[in-house]
Amino acid sequence: MPQAIGACAGFAAFSVSIVVGISSQNAVETVLSRALLAMLLAFVGGFAIGLVCDWIVTQQLELIDSESDTETADGAERTDDTDGLTGVDILDEADQRVASRAVQSENREAVGRRREKNSV
């Protein structure tokens, strides 16, 4: 993750430097040298920010793992709001409900048509 953040920051700094340098009508050598310097500095800064973000994510994951280990060590079972269902299971159930409702509505329409035929 740090490399990606550093690369994105470096590319952004390089792009902005090129646009600003061209718009101010500087010499090509000046524009490129300043853009490369900005890219290098932005990469270093972005890499540092990426390291901090990576460290924060690691700390939070360790905290979550330690909380779940503490809960299971105390003998308390971990309960989920989905009762063990995954997102795929929930979607499958929803598809089945929609399909059953469609069949029910088709049956009601067919019954209504039959009643109309029989009454005529």
pLDDT digits (tens, 9 = 90+) for 2-21: 899 999 999 999 999 999 99
Q: Are 21 and 34 in contact (CB under 8 A)?
A: yes
Q: Are 10 and 46 in contact (CB under 8 A)?
A: yes
Q: Which of 17-21, 96-100, 103-107 has the highest mean pLDDT?
A: 17-21
What are the tokens at 93? 């159930």
Going by pLDDT thresholds of 50, 70 and 90, the confidence category of residue 31 is: very high
Q: Return the pLDDT at 64.
A: 87
pTM > 0.75: no
pLDDT-above-90 percentage for the chain: 46
Question: How far apart, in whole angstroms, are the C-alpha atoms of residue 27 and residue 34?
Answer: 11
